[in-house]
Structure 1
Amino acid sequence: MSVGRYGPLTARAYDLLSGEPVYVVGRRLAIPALGLRPGERVLDVGCGTGLNLSALMHDVGPTGLVVGLDRSAAMLGRAGRRRTRSHDGRLRLVEGDMTDPRALVEAAAGRAFDAVLFTYSLSLAPDPGPAWRAVRDVLRSGARVGVVDMARPTGNAAWASPLAQAACWLGGADIDAHPWTVVEPDLSGTRSWSRWGGHVRVCVGTWGG
């Protein structure tokens, strides 16, 4: 993924231009499905401007911890602006690449995560496989895993495929990466959803360790 695509100018405009009215459905399906409990630790991989953070912090409560990991300092800067005094001590933002073990070790800070969420982020990796394998190393056995990503719309929604491809290209994502197919074989109790003609895909399950 190119950090240049997510520099200061992009970060400032991201929330307006990201198509959130379409893509929010993935967040709304995946986050409740993780079944987060008070006191748990969750890693938000590719957290961007922090669109997941409020919901994740709500679910882990005042004794839990949410760690947002992103390669772009500019995007993390926008995410940090969502922080309030009530978030102190239960939100950490870490700059680093999802494929970099050092960044993931820094994110974990010596304790494995109870859950991880990839929201439209694994398709940004040149190869989702190594990214997923790197993240697995900071998960505890039994951790819940959520993947939200994109594919080409089909059926009655196939007319929107050029628009979907353009949106993915602008963001640096590979619409044909289908990263959930890399993660799902390693999970148990998997649940899956498809929305917007298959353009938004959600997969949630449990990592056995």
Structure 2
Amino acid sequence: MTDVQGFYTRWAQLYDYIATAPGVRSWREHVVDTLSLSPGDTVVEMGCGTGANFPYLRDAVGPRGRVVGLDVVEAMLASARDRIDERGWENVGVVRGDATRPPIERADAIIATFLVGMLRDPGEAVSGWIDHLAPGGRIAIMNAGRSDRRLAAPLNLLFRLFVRASSPGGRLSRKSPAAALESRWRDASDTLRAETTAFGTERIGLGFVRCARGRRPADHS
């Protein structure tokens, strides 16, 4: 088991509590809205965790659509399955797998929230995700980073401390986990910008949350 898998296995319940907090829920609903999903669509979530995005994804694709969550941590998937069973969703399912080598076929849309900052090569991963989209398919990613807003500047120190405490191995790292998080976000969003059309990016949550989106062009290769 890798450090990441061990970390999230131990903290799956706490993660779910944070992932479904009121403010965080509004961010998740927002990034799902940017996908412009239609009833009947198939959407795949990379790194679905405990399924915190599932309610918004399922509402968007309706009962005729399909939601597939992918995660490598079995403890996270167990919580996601519980959420699915509690809601009685027959068109929502989860698969255990590595988001850098996703065992999926074509999808109308792909979403990843708070994942790209943990990947070793997020640019390569995003490029691979785009390959799994149908022509014209949509992709959206979301991750945290230090705020660039003057009023939020005093909170950046707290953010750096939170990232260090919540990152697998972060407390022992000599390098700044927050800086690494932002570097990986740049790699992911730069790839999205280069390989999609209708690219857009924005910051929400006082500037601490970054969202980017795009569409796979018909001639993407």
Band of TM-score, shorter chain: 0.7 to 0.9
Query: What CA distance in whole angstroms lies between the structure 2 residues aligned with 1:26 and 1:185?
Result: 25
Checking the alignment, whether the CA contact within 8 Å between 1:149 and 1:202 is kept in structure 2 is yes
The answer on whether the counterparts of 2:192 and 2:214 sit within 8 Å (CA) in structure 1 is no
Q: Mean alpha-carbon deviation: is it higher for 55-64 or for 157-166?
A: 157-166
Q: Secondary structure at the match of 2:83?
A: coil
1:181 positional shift: 2.9
Are 2:142 and 1:140 equivalent residues in the alignment?
no
User: Which amino acid is the alignment partner of residue 144 of structure 1?
Assistant: R
Letter in 1 for 2:196: L
Q: Per-residue deviation at 1:70?
A: 0.7
Q: 1:157 aligns with which of 152, 157, 177?
A: 152
The DSSP-based 3-state class of the residue aligned with 1:175 is: helix
Supply the distance in 1 between the matched residues of 2:67 and 2:45 (Cα, whole angstroms). Answer: 7
Asked if 1:194 corresponds to 2:203, the answer is: yes
- CA-CA distance at 1:40 after TM superposition: 0.8
Deviation for aligned residue 1:20: 3.5
- Which of 5, 8, 16 pairs up with 2:7? 5
- Cα distance in 1, alignment partners of residues 38 and 18 from structure 2: 32
State whether structure 2 residue 36 is matched by structure 1 residue 24: no
Number of residue pairs aligned between Structure 1 and Structure 2: 200
Distance apart, 1:3 and its partner CA: 0.7
25-34 or 45-54, larger mean C-alpha shift = 25-34
Question: Within 1, Cα distance between the matches of 2:158 and 2:26?
Answer: 18
Deviation of 1:196 after TM superposition, in Å, equals: 3.2
Structure 1 partner of 2:193: 184
- CA distance in structure 2 between the partners assigned to 1:175 and 1:164 by the alignment: 12
Mark the runs of 5 or more structure 1 residues left unpaired by the alignment.
Answer: none
**SS in structure 2 of the partner of residue 143 of structure 1:** strand
Return the alpha-carbon distance in structure 1 between the equivalents of residues 142 and 98 of structure 2.
18
Aligned AA (2:125): A
Query: What is the distance in 2 between the residues matched to 1:182 and 1:162?
Result: 29
Per-residue CA shift, 1:114-144, capped at 9, x if unaligned? 0000111111101211211222232111111
TM (norm. structure 2) is 0.82
User: Deviations for 1:32-87, whole angstroms, at most 9, x for unmatched residues?
Assistant: 12111111100111110101001111111111110101111100111111113641
CA contact (8 A) 1:158 1:197 kept: no
Q: Distance in 2 between matches of 1:19 and 1:162?
A: 23
Would the aligned equivalents of 1:29 and 1:202 in 2 still touch at CA under 8 Å? no
Query: Could you say which structure has the larger radius of gyration?
Result: 2
CA distance in 2, matches of 1:114, 1:168: 32
Q: Kindly indicate whether the alpha-carbon contact (under 8 Å) linking 2:130 and 2:139 is maintained by their aligned counterparts in 1.
A: no
Distance 1:189 1:158 in 2: 31
Post-superposition offset of 1:191: 2.8
TM-score scaled to structure 1, two decimals?
0.87
- Asked if 2 retains the 8 angstrom alpha-carbon contact of 1:195 and 1:201, the reply is yes
Aligned equivalents of 2:210, 2:82: Cα separation in 1: 29
Aligned residue identity for 2:155: A
Distance 1:78 1:171, change over 3 A: farther
Instruction: Indicate the SS of the match to 2:120.
Output: coil
* CA apart distance, 1:205: 1.9
